[in-house]
Structures are given as C-alpha cells and as structure tokens.
Structure 1
Amino acid sequence: MSVSPGQPVPDFTAAATGDTTITLSELQGQQVVIYFYPKASTPGCTTEGGDFRDHKAAFDAANTVIIGVSRDGLRAQENFKAKQGFNFALISDKDEAVCQLFDVIKLKKMYGKEHLGVERSTFLIDTDGKLAREWRGVKVKGHVEEVLAAAQALHAG
C-alpha cells in the first residue's frame, strides 16, 4: 500500500527519540516532512540529517515539522541524534510499520547481494494531513533545499 499525492496519509503512532511517541494526527495544522533513511550514522544519512538540521529555522518559519525515520533501534537513533546535534525527532521503525505505510522498503543491491532495505525517500504532508509531495530514490546533495522550497511554496499557498 502506498499513499499518493493529494490523498490523506493514514494516521500512525511511533516511538521516537527523547522518550516520546509521534502521532501524525496530532501534528495537523502544521506541515510535516517525513524523511526515511537507510541507516543511522552512515555517511549519506549523516549528511542528509545535517542538512535538515541546518535548515530547521527555515522549515519552522514555513510551519513545517521535520521527522526522520529508519529501522534502527531507539538507542541507535538517540546516539545518532545526540552525536549530530539533530534538532528534530527520529522515529525508530523496527517493525517497519511506518516504512510500509509509505512503501519505502525496496529490494536493494549491495556488493552484488540483494536485500530489502529502506529507499531514501521524503514526503511532505500538508496542514490537512494530505500528501502534498513525494521524493523517492533521493540523492542527498541539494535535496533538503528542494524539500524546503516545496514546503515554503505550500505554506505560502
């Protein structure tokens, strides 16, 4: 199952950093960026998270919450967040419930072997809880700036 742009995103609740849980419906009235990354503390994921961190004030100004998601456990997420100084929540999605909702588990190849993993993807949800934009198979360089521009445009109406 996958959500298409213009459709409401099904509600979910997930464990996040800082001993919190995130429930999507509780964020209604704000725009939400949910970005999925393969693995905490790996180079691409560190760069992407750092880009979101560095642009957080601009996302805040556009009434947009940032949430990162991977299949890492909470301890790994807490360490990643602390080490990189991330100023937004990270969801631990070990059971892949949130990943499945957005259909980001894909067959990937690494060193010639196939395995199921998280495809780097980002989703922008509008203030009514509908999917406004999606980016799949993301390349990190310049990506956060593109997401920010879309969030700002959506916020401006």
Structure 2
Amino acid sequence: MSETERWQAAEQLALALAEGGLQRMPARALAVFLFTGDETVTMGEIADRLGVSAGSVSGAVKALLSVGLIERLPAPGSRREHYRLRDDAWSTLFSAQNTVVGVMLKAADTGIAATASGDPAHERLTRMRDFYRFLLGELPGLLRRWEEQHPPR
C-alpha cells in the first residue's frame, strides 16, 4: 500500500467515525494515531498530516485524552509534548462508556416513574432499563475476558 493510499484509508476511517457520532476533528486525529508509523506524534505533526491549524488539533487531542484513547508521554530533550494511542485504548473507552450506560439507566428509571404500568411508554422504558441493567452487568466480564486474551504490551 502506498503512503497516499494509507492516508486515504485513514481519512475514510475518520469519516466513518464521524458518521458514527465522533466529532470530525477528534475522528481525524484518532485516525492519525491509528495509521502513523511513528511510536508518538506531536500536535504539530498531527496538524501537518491533516493540513489544519494547531488550534483545531489542540481541542481534538484534549478530547481524545479525556476519554482515555491517547496518553501524553515524557519527551526528554523535546520542547513539544508527545502523544500515543494507549495500548488499552479500546477497553478504556468501553469502560468509560459505563457512565453513558448509567445515564441511560437513570433516564429509563425516571421515565418509568413518570408513566403508569400498562402504558406502552412504561413498557418500552422498562425494556430499556432492563437492557441497560443487563449490559452494565455484562461489561466487567467482557472486559476481563478481553484483557485475559489480549494482555497489554
């Protein structure tokens, strides 16, 4: 695969991530982390690769740091901060989404309390709550099995 094809594939991935709900610039920055051949990258390198301003990359990097996908690394002798994709990025992200599951669970409970038994909305909200309770109960075991099969490098 040529370098051009490699980065076209990165942009296609970023587009798919954006269509899936990730903001455009964090999606593009994440694609850089996934497709780079380098161990670490700087914000300037991301900006250069994407052809965007350093300011737009700064927000994307902060977003990726906040959800645990990337990490900041010490770079002795360098005036720039270096970042890399975490080895446990995907399980970290999935774990962080437990918060989302908790929010959905609470929203369902609030809806159930506001509707009467037998009401179709009550039934739908009960099913929603039951699904999220199930999911929340299954996530720890799934992540444990993942880590057993794919120990960090």
Q: TM-score range by the shorter chain?
A: under 0.3
- Return the structure number with greater strand share: 1
What is the TM-score of this pair, normalised by structure 2? 0.28
- Per residue, is there more helix in 1 or in 2? 2
Question: What TM-score does the superposition give when structure 1 sets the normalisation length?
Answer: 0.27
Structure ID, larger Rg: 2
- Return the structure number with greater relative CO, CA threshold 8 A, min gap 6: 1
